[in-house]
Amino acid sequence: MSDAARINSSRKIPSLGRGESGGGAWDGVARSGILVGMMESGLKPELWTTIEPGQDVALVVCDMDGTLLDGEGRVPNAFWSLVDTMSERGIMFAPASGRQYATLAKMFAGRASIRTFISENGAHVVQDGESVSVTPVEKDTAERVIRLVRDVDHRDIGLVAGGAKSAYVERRDDRFTEQVETYNAALTIVDDLTEVEDDFVKLATFDFNGVDDIVEDVFPGSWDGHQVVVSGTHWVDIISDQANKGNALRDLQKHLGISPSQTVVFGDYLNDLEMLDQADLSFAMANAHPDVRAAARYEAPANTEHGVVSVLERLLNL
């Protein structure tokens, strides 16, 4: 991986957020000093209706759960015609999610104009099937996690090594793989995770009995350069502390030659904060976490009201 393929941020202030390994609360998202200052000031975003219709837009980046997806977890039907309009105008749309790339690609299969994906909460950015940036877990750290999980005999757990090419597991019983397949469209069962030749972007552990005390029990001690984060009732992830959607968007903007002034971002939870900081047209959904609403420039209608669709129609003057 070349230096140009990865841009590191010096702003690393841990906080809380939500990811999508298991669809629950996600910890360990960095927040910039700018965003923290906005939150503490109590600033409120402007309503989306204050924006002049018709804007110079080149890139639209959108979180999935709680943002684009409706209350049933589906993409609104009206969004698909907007995808066609954006494609006709040369505007790129990129979903940004905690899901793996293969899962996102499957969700948008059949839409050739959707070519770019920010996956694994920013640890893996893909365009036209090729990696734009990868923020991997260091090899020594990955092997440490693998050994720790293998040695556990008092918990019903399994490890998923999320790679740039696929997700990988050693545990192969149906009870476990059914849980993993929910969030990983590309899954490979292997005999030895340490022998896999792929960049691991996330090490996710699933505990059937819940993860209330798993960090202290299984993953104690220092994890220099990495975050140990709870991502759901049954999931805990270990990722690089450089992995976030903001760094990923910065990589993508540089790759495409698109400025923040031409970028639109939609988000609802704390793992979207850095991403909001990378766009002049930043929108928090009405259902967003209060810190996200404080950090965004504008407020969009709730995801259950198809807020992304309404805002894009105004931005595109439709």
Which position among 27, 63, 70, 251 bears the catalytic label? Answer: 63
Is 63 noted as a catalytic residue in this protein?
yes
> Helix/strand/coil (H, E, C) string of the chain?
CCHHHCCCCCCCCEEEEECCCCCCEEEEEECCHHHHHHHHHCCCCEEHHHCCCCCCCCEEEEEHHHHHCCCCCCCCHHHHHHHHHHHHCCCEEEEECCCCHHHHHHHCCCCCCCCEEEEHHHCEEEECCEEEEECCCCHHHHHHHHHHHHCCCCCCEEEEEEECCCEEECCCCHHHHHHHHCCCCCEEECCCHHHCCCCEEEEEEEECCCCCCHHHHHCCCCCCCEEEEECCCCEEEEEECCCCHHHHHHHHHHHHCCCHHHEEEEECCHHHHHHHCCCCEEEEECCCCHHHHHHCCEEECCHHHCHHHHHHHHHCCC
Q: Catalytic residue numbers?
A: 63
